[in-house]
């Protein structure tokens, strides 16, 4: 079934003036925003109607398209959509199958939710009911309270896995506790506890002796460090005024003084240069101003004397030109009147009559009248010539010349342009003079005094440092600061010793010194203690460890007396938590109670284990049925399948087979060398060819013996030039097999390749308008 024609009269800003009749291969070409995507969206909505909701990102225009699509099957029967229904209903397929097979949007040939799509499609093609099998398997898993992997589940409110594991662990505890109760001897335990206490007393006495030796050494080291600290602090007091920041400030000030002095020198040189330039410009202004005054006076005379004469001459000349034609007429009439007057006089002479008398009088009047008019024209021309002579005379007074009026006006124009140039030059010089004046003022009023002020500030800063420290040079100041650094370092070392001995935290130095003095005074009592003992941290640590071990042994033996009763209570609590909903509360106070609880736990585990085993056996049966059916689904692919045949033809034999793996519904292809390749390892071009082959094969499965159409939105954007040409050649080959291809593109490369091909129809996209 192919698209015979379509007409989109309106869809947002998109409108086709005439219906479009696609061929077997039709390229719809246009630039971006010329309506490529809107045309595809409109066709999808016209074809699918209400089923279009399953398509993503199809609401660029919220309104429904106006128009129609005419479909025609191989027998010539036509259907008009949307009036005649919806494409899924006509073909007996779903809208998802339409989108995944016949329509390629956003340059993506892959199949949406591929695994689910193949499963649903193959269920319908083969009549299998794999979803119902899956539901039954899930129900069995739920009844047995196990996971898909066969282990007990551990969901909230049930926690069966945790309860069974706890039951198994509790049984082990019960067995261990039973043996311990039988084997534990309490009399031996009491005797061992007495011996351990005696060892602890001896170790505590020795530890006290080592502690006194440690305190004595701590006092001696602390006293020495404190004395060194106070002595260094006293020396440091005289060096308090000496600061790192002041040293840096002194160095910076000296550098700044050198830099600012150089800047002041450069600025003063710049001011001298500008003043010299200003003097030259002032001299030039005087010179140009004199020239401008002469030209201005001459221009004033021209405006007052010469220009009125020229305007008067031009006015008279215009009137004279208008009279020139009339003058020719006057001359002709005068000649004719004179000739006719002569003839009339001859006629009256030879044949006196009233008629000739009237003619003599008439032509005499004409001759006199037109003779007067001709004379007036001659007089006007003479006055014009005198006016031009006056203009020549006047213009020569101003030093200008011209052979005729035009050259005179040209010379006047050049003179006025010269006046304007002189005026502009004078204005420019005055502007430059003003700019130089401002620069000189800026330098003299602000820049130079400002830097001299900075110079004074830096000099005062150095003098203040000299007065405060009494040092006259930077070198002496540096030496004193080095001495201060050495004292600070010595103080820091003594503080570290005291900190390690007594602590002190991060309090201010004065508070820490007071604290350390107090601590030294506190341990002064140990100054004469254990003088024959040399303190060793290692021996103290060994004795401490021995004491700790004996104390732990004692604690362990004392704990054994209470542990058995505690273990029985723990087992009682654990068992009732495990069996919280499966019987009465169980008590565990004796060995008999312990044996009864063990029997209850064994029964609980056996019951649920039996239910799990039975459910897994039935689940395995259904899984085997499901596996067999998946094998049947995968047979729709394979070496002899339509998918493999199309892929083999499209790739010119580089690939021989397309397989669908039954266990995970994943596709792999077989190369002509026999090697299997997964889809994600294919090149971009082979990937597009594969999914084009799958779409063709699935379309044949769905349409039976009928061929269909493909709507493609620039499907080969990832291809380079050579691959793009091969892909387009493949589509042309598919079109020759009976399929219809509607190819939408904005790539000039696609247009150049397909333009002029006999089997390709090119349709220019109409563009969009602003509604």
**17: which DSSP letter?**
S
Is the pLDDT reported for residue 129 higher than 60? no
Pair of tokens at residue 462: 């150095």
Cα–Cα distances in angstroms (integers) from residue 88 to residues 76, 92, 119, 738, in the given order? 20, 6, 19, 21
Pairing mode of beta strands 667-671, 676-678: antiparallel
Q: What is the per-residue pLDDT for 23?
A: 93
Cα–Cα distances in angstroms (integers) from residue 420 to residues 290, 426, 554, in the given order? 14, 10, 120
Q: H or E segment at 294?
A: helix 244-301
Q: Identify whether the C-beta of residue 719 lies closer than 8 Å to the C-beta of residue 46.
A: no
CATH for 1-102+708-771 (3.90.420.10, 3.40.50.300, 3.30.565.10, 3.90.1150.10): 3.40.50.300
Q: Identify whether the C-beta of residue 323 lies closer than 8 Å to the C-beta of residue 377.
A: yes
Reduced to 3 states, what is the DSSP secondary structure of residue 225?
A: helix
Per residue, the 3-state secondary structure of 89-148, as one string, reads HHHCCCHHHHHHHCEECCCCCCCCCHHHHHHHHHHHHHCCCHHHHHHHHHHHHHHHCECC
More confident residue, 168 or 141: 168
Specify the domain boundaries for CATH 1.10.287 within the chain: 249-441
Residue whose tokens read 């003063």: 268
Q: Which residue(s) pair with 27 in the sheet?
A: 743, 762
Q: What is the per-residue pLDDT for 6?
A: 93
Q: Identify whether the C-beta of residue 689 lies closer than 8 Å to the C-beta of residue 730.
A: yes
Reduced to 3 states, what is the DSSP secondary structure of residue 388?
A: helix
Edge-to-edge strands, sheet with 2-10: 2-10, 66-72, 78-81
Is the pLDDT reported for residue 361 higher than 60? yes
Is the pLDDT reported for residue 729 higher than 80? yes
Biggest distance spanned by C-alpha atoms of the chain: 199
Judged by average pLDDT, the poorest of 184-198, 202-216, 284-298 is 184-198
Q: H or E segment at 5?
A: strand 2-10
Q: What mean pLDDT comes out for the span 443-470? A: 79
Is the pLDDT reported for residue 622 higher than 70? no
Q: In 10 A of CB 479, how many CB atoms?
A: 12
End-to-end CA distance of the chain: 35
Residue 211, phi-psi category: left (phi > 0), alpha (psi -120 to 50), beta (remainder): alpha
Task: In whole angstroms, give the CA distance from residue 676 to residue 668.
Answer: 7
Entry field: residues in the chain: 771
Q: What mean pLDDT comes out for the span 615-637? A: 62
Q: What is the per-residue pLDDT for 71?
A: 92
Task: In whole angstroms, give the CA distance from residue 101 to residue 91.
Answer: 13
Pair of tokens at residue 213: 């030796």
Q: H or E segment at 243?
A: none
Task: In whole angstroms, give the CA distance from residue 122 to residue 129.
Answer: 10
Q: What is the per-residue pLDDT for 325?
A: 64
Is the pLDDT reported for residue 128 higher than 50? no
- b/e code 567-596 from CB counts within 10 Å (16+ = b): bbeebbebbbebbeeeeeebebeeeeebee
Pairing mode of beta strands 761-764, 25-29: parallel
Q: Identify whether the C-beta of residue 34 lies closer than 8 Å to the C-beta of residue 751.
A: no
Residues near 157 by beta carbon (within 8 Å), at least 6 away in sequence: none
- Give the mean pLDDT of the chain: 77
Evaluated on CA atoms 191, 195, 196, 198, the torsion sign reads positive
Q: What is the per-residue pLDDT for 144?
A: 62
Edge-to-edge strands, sheet with 655-660: 655-660, 667-671, 676-678
Is the pLDDT reported for residue 320 higher than 70? no
> In 351-447, which ranges are continuous DSSP H helix?
354-397, 405-441
- pLDDT of 575-592, one tens digit each? 887 777 556 788 877 667
Q: H or E segment at 185?
A: none
- pLDDT of 268-295, one tens digit each? 888 888 888 888 888 888 888 888 888 7
Residues near 293 by beta carbon (within 8 Å), at least 6 away in sequence: none
Q: What is the per-residue pLDDT for 186?
A: 39
Q: In 10 A of CB 97, how many CB atoms?
A: 19
The CA R_g of the chain, rounded to the nearest whole Å, is 59
Pair of tokens at residue 278: 């200003």
- pLDDT of 483-536, one tens digit each? 777 877 887 887 787 777 777 777 777 777 777 777 777 777 777 766 666 666
Task: In whole angstroms, give the CA distance from residue 348 to residue 355.
Answer: 8
Q: In 10 A of CB 107, how many CB atoms?
A: 15
Pair of tokens at residue 412: 């006047």
- Which backbone phi and psi does 410 adopt, to 5 degrees? -60, -45
DSSP string, 738-763: T-EEEEEE--HHHHHHHTT-TT-EEE
Residues near 78 by beta carbon (within 8 Å), at least 6 away in sequence: 4, 70, 71, 72
pTM of the model: 0.39
Judged by average pLDDT, the poorest of 154-158, 285-289, 741-745 is 154-158
- Which backbone phi and psi does 219 adopt, to 5 degrees? -65, -45
Specify the domain boundaries for CATH 3.40.50.300 within the chain: 1-102+708-771, 635-702
Pair of tokens at residue 666: 């994943």
Q: What is the per-residue pLDDT for 7?
A: 93
Q: In 10 A of CB 721, how many CB atoms?
A: 9
Task: In whole angstroms, give the CA distance from residue 481 to residue 244.
Answer: 7
Residue 763, phi-psi category: left (phi > 0), alpha (psi -120 to 50), beta (remainder): beta
Q: Where does the pLDDT of residue 553 fall: very low under 50, low under 70, confident under 90, or very high at 90 and above?
A: confident
Pair of tokens at residue 679: 């889809």
Task: In whole angstroms, give the CA distance from residue 389 to residue 403.
Answer: 11
Domain 249-441 in this protein, CATH class: mainly alpha
Q: Identify whether the C-beta of residue 7 lies closer than 8 Å to the C-beta of residue 714.
A: no
Reduced to 3 states, what is the DSSP secondary structure of residue 662?
A: coil
Pair of tokens at residue 403: 């052979």
Query: Does the structural domain 635-702 have CATH classification 3.40.50.300?
Result: yes
Q: What is the per-residue pLDDT for 335?
A: 76
Q: Identify whether the C-beta of residue 455 lies closer than 8 Å to the C-beta of residue 261.
A: yes
Cα–Cα distances in angstroms (integers) from residue 311 to residues 68, 397, 408, 410, in the given order? 78, 18, 13, 15
Pairing mode of beta strands 740-745, 25-29: parallel
Pairing mode of beta strands 103-104, 709-713: parallel
Q: Identify whether the C-beta of residue 655 lies closer than 8 Å to the C-beta of residue 668.
A: no
Q: What mean pLDDT comes out for the span 232-250? A: 74
């Amino acid at each position: 079934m192919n698209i015979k024609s379509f007409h989109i009269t309106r869809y947002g800003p998109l409108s086709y003036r005439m219906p479009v009749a696609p061929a077997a291969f039709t390229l719809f070409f246009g630039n971006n925003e010329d309506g490529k995507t809107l045309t595809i969206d409109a066709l999808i909505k016209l074809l699918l109607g209400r089923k279009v909701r399953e398509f993503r990102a199809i609401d660029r225009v919220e309104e429904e398209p106006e128009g129609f699509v005419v479909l025609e099957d191989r027998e010539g029967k036509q259907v008009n959509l949307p009036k005649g229904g919806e494409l899924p209903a006509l073909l007996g397929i779903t809208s998802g199958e339409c989108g995944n097979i016949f329509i390629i949007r956003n340059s993506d040939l892959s199949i949406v939710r591929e695994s689910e799509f193949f499963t649903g499609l193959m269920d319908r093609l083969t009549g299998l009911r794999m979803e119902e099998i899956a539901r039954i398997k899930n129900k069995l898993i739920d009844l047995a309270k196990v996971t898909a992997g066969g282990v007990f589940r551990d969901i909230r409110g049930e926690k069966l896995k945790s309860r069974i594991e706890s039951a198994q662990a509790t049984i082990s505890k019960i067995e261990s506790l039973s043996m311990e109760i039988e084997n534990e001897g309490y009399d031996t335990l009491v005797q061992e506890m007495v011996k351990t206490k005696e060892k602890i007393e001896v170790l505590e006495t020795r530890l006290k002796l080592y502690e006194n030796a440690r305190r004595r050494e701590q006092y001696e080291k602390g006293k020495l460090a404190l004395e060194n600290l106070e002595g260094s602090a006293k020396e440091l007091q005289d060096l308090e005024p000496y600061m790192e920041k002041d040293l840096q400030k002194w160095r910076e000030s000296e550098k700044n003084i050198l830099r600012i002095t150089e800047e002041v020198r450069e600025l003063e040189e710049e001011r001298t240069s500008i003043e010299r330039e200003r003097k030259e410009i002032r001299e030039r202004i005087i010179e140009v101003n004199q020239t401008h005054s002469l030209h201005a006076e001459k221009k004033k005379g021209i405006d007052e004397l010469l220009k009125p004469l020229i305007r008067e001459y031009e006015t008279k000349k215009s009137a004279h030109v208008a009279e020139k034609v009339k003058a020719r007429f006057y001359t002709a009439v005068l000649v004719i009147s004179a000739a006719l007057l002569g003839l009339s006089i001859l006629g009256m002479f030879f044949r006196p009559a009233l008629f000739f008398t009237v003619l003599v009088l008439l032509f005499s009047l004409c001759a006199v009248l037109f003779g007067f008019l001709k004379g007036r024209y001659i007089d006007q021309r003479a006055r014009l010539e005198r006016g031009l002579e006056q203009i020549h005379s006047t213009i020569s007074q101003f030093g200008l010349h011209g052979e005729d009026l035009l050259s005179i006006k040209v010379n006047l124009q050049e003179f006025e342009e010269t006046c304007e140039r002189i005026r502009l030059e004078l204005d420019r010089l005055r502007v430059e003079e003003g700019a130089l004046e401002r620069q000189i003022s800026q330098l003299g009023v602000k820049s130079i005094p400002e830097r001299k002020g900075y110079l004074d500030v830096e000099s005062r800063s150095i003098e203040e440092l000299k007065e405060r420290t009494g040092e006259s040079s930077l070198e002496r100041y540096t030496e004193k600061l080095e001495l201060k650094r050495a004292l600070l370092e010595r103080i820091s070392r003594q503080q570290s010793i005291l900190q390690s001995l007594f602590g002190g935290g991060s309090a201010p130095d004065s508070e820490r010194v007071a604290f350390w003095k107090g601590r030294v005074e506190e341990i002064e009592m140990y100054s004469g203690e254990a003088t024959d003992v040399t303190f060793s941290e290692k021996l103290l640590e060994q004795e401490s460890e021995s004491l700790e071990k004996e104390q732990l042994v004692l604690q362990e033996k004392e704990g054994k007396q209470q542990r058995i009763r505690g273990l029985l209570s723990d087992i009682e609590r654990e068992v009732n938590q495990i069996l919280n909903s499966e019987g009465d509360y169980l008590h565990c106070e004796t060995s008999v109670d312990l044996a009864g609880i063990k029997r209850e736990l064994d029964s609980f585990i056996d019951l649920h284990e039996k239910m799990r085993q039975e459910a897994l056996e039935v689940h395995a049966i259904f899984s085997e049925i499901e596996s067999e059916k998946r094998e049947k689904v995968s047979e729709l692919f394979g070496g002899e399948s339509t998918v493999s045949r199309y892929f083999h033809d499209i790739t010119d034999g580089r690939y021989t087979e397309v397989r669908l793996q039954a266990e995970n519904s994943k596709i792999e292809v077989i190369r002509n060398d026999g090697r299997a390749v997964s889809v994600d390892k294919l090149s971009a071009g082979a990937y597009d060819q594969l999914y084009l082959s799958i779409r063709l094969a699935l379309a044949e499965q769905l349409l039976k013996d009928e061929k269909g159409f493909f709507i493609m939105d620039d499907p080969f954007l990832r291809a380079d030039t050579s691959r793009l040409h091969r892909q387009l050649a493949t589509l042309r080959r598919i079109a020759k097999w009976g399929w219809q291809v509607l190819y939408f593109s904005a790539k000039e490369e696609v247009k150049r390749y397909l333009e002029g091909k006999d089997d390709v129809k090119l349709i220019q996209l109409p563009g969009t308008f602003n509604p």
